[in-house]
Amino acid sequence: MKKNILLLGLVVVFALASCGGGKDEKKDGEKKPVCEVENSIAITIQDYYYSMNDTLVYSTPNFEVKHSEYTWINDSSVSLKFCNYDPKELVGARQETQIDLIIELNARHGKKLEPGYYGYRDYETGMWAGVTMATAYGTVWFNGNNQGGVTVEYIDKDAICGTLSLNVESPDSPMIGIVRTNGTFVYKK
């Protein structure tokens, strides 16, 4: 009787193991689609003056990406740039509405880039993000108490996607004002 139960148990274990462990893979070697989200970035800059040559007031609930660049530097550092204008439109001085959103992701202490949360300039965790905006008046930084970060859903040499969750709101410095960048982003070659 014990042998029958043992054999039955082995058959069940073998049957479950041969089912592939429940992973959902496409047949014929096809890759699953990655980064099925679309860019949906909201940018708000209000009365920002820190390191600028004038006060910048800008707001859009939908930052329309007209040009993007993705640089895979190595397995622990990438740079991503979204522009709301075509580079051909950048003739002479940059216009107030022409903004570059620059996202840098870095890993250190032996870590490699992978899906997960990258805190803004959170160097101590070993996985940190740098996010800035290049504008007509200078660079916008997320300096303040509530700096947020970037959540990466997928990353490799050809594609990246995730969510921006950065806010500064009401820092003590009157020069920074309100700075927000939130929403989903995607880049695919």
Task: Convert the pLDDT of each residue in 34-55 to its tens digit.
Answer: 888 889 999 988 877 777 778 7
| Residue 55 falls inside a structural domain | yes
Instruction: Provide the pLDDT for residue 90.
Output: 86
Are the CB atoms for 150 and 132 separated by under 8 Å? no
Report the range of poorest mean pLDDT among 63-77, 79-93, 128-142, 160-174: 160-174
If one counts the domains in the chain, the total is 1
- For residue 125, give its domain range: 35-85+97-188
Q: In the chain, what's the furthest Cα-to-Cα distance?
A: 88
Beta strands, E only, the chain: 40-48, 56-60, 67-74, 77-83, 100-107, 116-120, 127-135, 138-140, 149-155, 159-167, 178-188
> What's the predicted TM-score (pTM) here?
0.79
| Residue 30 falls inside a structural domain | no
| Residue 14 falls inside a structural domain | no
| Residue 16 falls inside a structural domain | no
Instruction: Provide the pLDDT for residue 172.
Output: 59
